[in-house]
Structure 1
C-alpha cells in the first residue's frame, strides 16, 4: 500500500496496482519531489496532468496539496480502475479538486484531448520505454504548459538523459538512489512560437 504524504488527505492509504507491471514511486522520492514543488508553489490551485499514472499516487498527492484539477492518464485497465478507486477515496478530503481518470495511452490522450494548458505535468513512464519514444510523447506537450509550468519525468538513474524535444528544456535534475527526476520547462524558443500562434 502507498499513502498520501501530506496535505488535506495526508496519511490516507491508497490501493496499489496488482502484479509487477507497475512500479510505484517510493515515499522517499515523493517526499523530495513534492517538497521541491511546494517550495516553488506548484501545487496550490494548479492544473495537474499525471501521465502513466499507475495507481494515481503522484497526481493524487498533488490533489491533497491543493491542486484545482488532476487528470490521471493510464492505459492499462486494472491500473485505471485503481486510479478511479483511489480518486474516490480522496473525494471527501479534497472536495474542491476535480479529479478525472482517463483510460488511454499517453500519446493517444495528448493527441486527441481538447486543448488545455497544464501547470504541472508528472510523467512516470515504464523504465523499459525507450528514450526516443519518451521524447516523441513529450513533444505533444509543446505549447500546452501554462506560465511557469513544469514537467517532471521520473526515470531510472541508470538511464541516459533523453534528447528532450523542441519546446522543452531541462532546468534541474535530482537523484534518489535508483531513481532520477528530470525537471523541464518550456524553452524560450517554444514560448515565442506559441505567442506568435496566439496572435
Structure 2
C-alpha cells in the first residue's frame, strides 16, 4: 500500500491501480528519490510533469512537498481514474487545484502542449515494453518544454540500458535500488567529474 511520505499531505494512503496494470514505485525508492530531489532544491514552487503516471504517486508526492502545479499524464482508463482520486486527496488538503489529470498518450500530450509551457521537474516511469527508441522520441519531444535548470528523472529496470538522451539533455547522475534504476538528467549541462562517485548501487538494506 503506497502513501504520501512527507509534506502537507504526509501519511495519506494513496489509492492503488487494481491488478498489474502499472508498476508502482516502491515507498523505499520514492523516499530515496525525494531525498535527492530535496537536496537538488527543485521541488518547492516547481511545475511538475508526471508522465506514464500510473497512480500519480510521484506527482502527488511533489504536490504535498510544495510544488506549484502538477500534471499527471496517464492513458489507461482505470489508472487515470486512480490518478484523479489521488489528485483529489492532495487538492483537498491544499484547498486549491494543484494537481491536474490528463488522460492521454504521452506523445500526444507533448505534441499538443503549446510552445512556452515549461516544467521544472519531470518524472518518466514508462512501462517496460516501451523500447529504447520510443523512449528517445518522448525525451526529444519533452526537451523544448524544460525550464532552465529543470531535472528529468527516468525510472527503468536495472537491467535496461541508459536512455538515449537527445542533444541538449545531459545525464548527471544515476542510482540503483535493487531492481530499479533512476537516471537524472538536465538540459544543456555537461556531466561533471563528480558523476563517477554518483553511480553506486544503493545498499539493499537502506
Q: Name stretches of at least 5 consecutive residues in structure 1 with no aligned partner.
A: 190-199
Hey, what's the Cα distance between the residues in 2 that align with 1:188 and 1:124?
23
- Equivalent residues, number: 189
Contact preservation (8 Å) 1:44, 1:66: yes
Q: Does 1:122 align with 2:104?
A: no
TM-fit CA distance, 1:143:
2.4
1:4-83 to 2 correspondence within 5 Å?
Answer: 4-83=4-83
Corresponding position of 1:196: none
**Aligned 1:136-151 pairs, distance under 5 A:** 136-151=137-152
State the Cα RMSD in Å.
1.3
- Change in 2 beyond 3 A, CA 1:188/1:10: closer
Structure 1 stretches of 4+ with a deviation exceeding 6 A read none
Counterpart Cα distance in 2 of 1:127 and 1:110: 20
Q: How far apart, CA to CA, are the structure 1 residues paired with 2:50 and 2:42? A: 14
Paired residues of 1:68 and 1:97 also in contact (CA < 8 A): no
SS in 2 for 1:134: helix
What CA distance in whole angstroms lies between the structure 1 residues aligned with 2:96 and 2:147?
A: 20
- Cα distance in 2 for partners of 1:152, 1:26 equals 15
SS at match of 1:165: coil
What is the rounded CA distance, in whole Å, between the counterparts of 2:76 and 2:128 in structure 1? 16
CA distance in 2, matches of 1:81, 1:135: 28
Q: Bigger shift: 97-106 or 23-32?
A: 97-106
CA shift for structure 1 position 114? 2.1
TM-score normalised by structure 2 residue count: 0.88
Q: Which residue of 1 aligns with 2:186?
A: 185
Q: Once the 2 structures are TM-superposed, how far is the Cα of residue 97 of structure 1 from its aligned partner?
A: 5.5
Shift in Å at residue 11 of structure 1? 0.5
Residue 176 of structure 1 corresponds to which residue in structure 2? 177
C-alpha distance in 1 between matches for 2:97 and 2:39: 20
Q: 1:170 to 1:188 in 2, by over 3 A?
A: closer
Q: Extract unaligned runs of 5+ from structure 2.
A: 191-206
Asked whether the equivalents of residues 170 and 189 of structure 2 are also in contact (C-alpha less than 8 Å), the reply is: no
CA contact (8 A) 1:143 1:167 kept: no
Does the 8 Å CA contact 1:56/1:72 hold for their aligned counterparts?
Answer: yes
